[in-house]
Structure 1
Amino acid sequence: MVEQDVVAMASPLEVLKAYLRIESGDEDGLLAGLLRSAEGVCEAFVGQWLIERQARETVIAAREWTRLSARPVVAIEAVEGLDAAGGAVALSVESYAIDIDGAGDGWVRVIAPTDATHLRVSYRAGMAADMNGLPEAVRQGIVRLAADYHATRTGDDAAMPAVVTALWRPWRRMRLA
């Protein structure tokens, strides 16, 4: 077994302040908001949840595999049956199947007759447990975008910097409809 040294990483706010060469805490609230905005843009751009969190989704109970919306799926924790009125329907473990594929997509389907018209699936999805667990390029793109928001907060320039899209592009997942 190989032991690794764990290096404590600075918080995204500390990294952003260093990047912008801001030493005081006067703008911490503003900067934290800019970071949250940049994180949201990053999630939309890469098509994945960044930080692992709970999800609950209702899908039609079908024999065909149904893909869950959030990704990457870390764990599918529960599947409940619902009738047409939204009431609970008992499901045996043998009546449905779940899967998480190599790309992190979560899947669910019905494999035995049931009175359920819908399935309510509880699961966890996200790329990392916290910001420090994200790939460095993703973190750096978030900081760079937040810094750009800070620099252009009084202007009308709303274009995302090319360097940010270049940092995020390797993690971008798109679906063709």
Structure 2
Amino acid sequence: MTITELAPPLGEPLTLAETKAHLRVETSAEDGLIAALIRTVRDHLERQTGLSLLTRTFRLYLDDWPRARVIQIGRGPVQTIEAVTVYDAAGMPVAVDAAGFVLDGQARPARLILPRQQQPGRVINGIEIDFTAGFGATGADVPDTLKRAMLLHAALLYEFRGAVSIDSQPAAVPAGYDRLIAPFCRRGL
């Protein structure tokens, strides 16, 4: 199972202004650095939690349908299923009718239950599921706890920006960060 992002987010959950206010930065001299830190902490948080903070489109690739007919989607919260495509033996795409599909997009991981479908003809990535995931279109839709964790993380990276290059970030997470994001993380047994 592979998930790829089809379109990047249209913005960031934190604005430059709110991040600068948190950092107590009043000039625009380091706006580029702060914007890069916002992207870095968002990307880190999304990787840690499996969440998509802002709404965007992804594609899930499967080799075959699961036996239990329940497809787990590792990015969430899933808002909608846009399209399901199966490739036949000739390698031609066949659109799958979404009638009968049941989506539990808020579950962690999100679950898609589907009726029996035709078997893919391709051995690898014979099934593609396009879906939209995220809390909403703007940072106002993102839970405040996650935004607070991002602000703390950005502050740590900003403070130690000379010690570790921006390309090697994030080098560390601040105290309390893990507790803030813990309710949003998937934990395995």
Whether TM exceeds 0.5 here: the answer is yes
Matches of 2:152 and 2:53, distance apart in 1:
16
Paired position in structure 2 for 1:152: 160
Q: Does 1:32 align with 2:35?
A: yes
Paired position in structure 2 for 1:116: 120
- How many angstroms does 1:34 deviate by? 0.4
Stretch deviating more after TM superposition (15-24 or 148-157): 148-157
Superposed, 1:130-169 pairs within 5 Å as 130-155=138-163, 158-169=171-182
Question: TM-score scaled to structure 1, two decimals?
Answer: 0.79
- How many angstroms does 1:33 deviate by? 0.2
Change in 2 beyond 3 A, CA 1:30/1:167: same
Higher Rg of the two aligned structures: 1
Matches of 2:97 and 2:73, distance apart in 1:
20
- How many angstroms does 1:141 deviate by? 1.0
Equivalent residue for 2:74, pick from 44, 69, 74 = 69
Change in 2 beyond 3 A, CA 1:42/1:132: same
Paired position in structure 2 for 1:15: 18
Matches of 2:38 and 2:61, distance apart in 1:
31
* Alignment coverage as a number of residue pairs: 165
Question: Contact between 2:102 and 2:113, CA under 8 Å: does it hold in 1?
Answer: yes
Write out per-residue CA displacement over residues 29-78 of structure 1, whole angstroms, 9 at most, x where no aligned residue. 11000011001111122221111110112213424322123222111121
Identical residues among aligned pairs (%): 28
Change in 2 beyond 3 A, CA 1:158/1:49: same
Secondary structure of the residue that 2:176 maps to in structure 1?
Answer: helix
Structure 1: tracts of 5 or more residues without a match: 1-9
Q: Does 1:44 align with 2:47?
A: yes
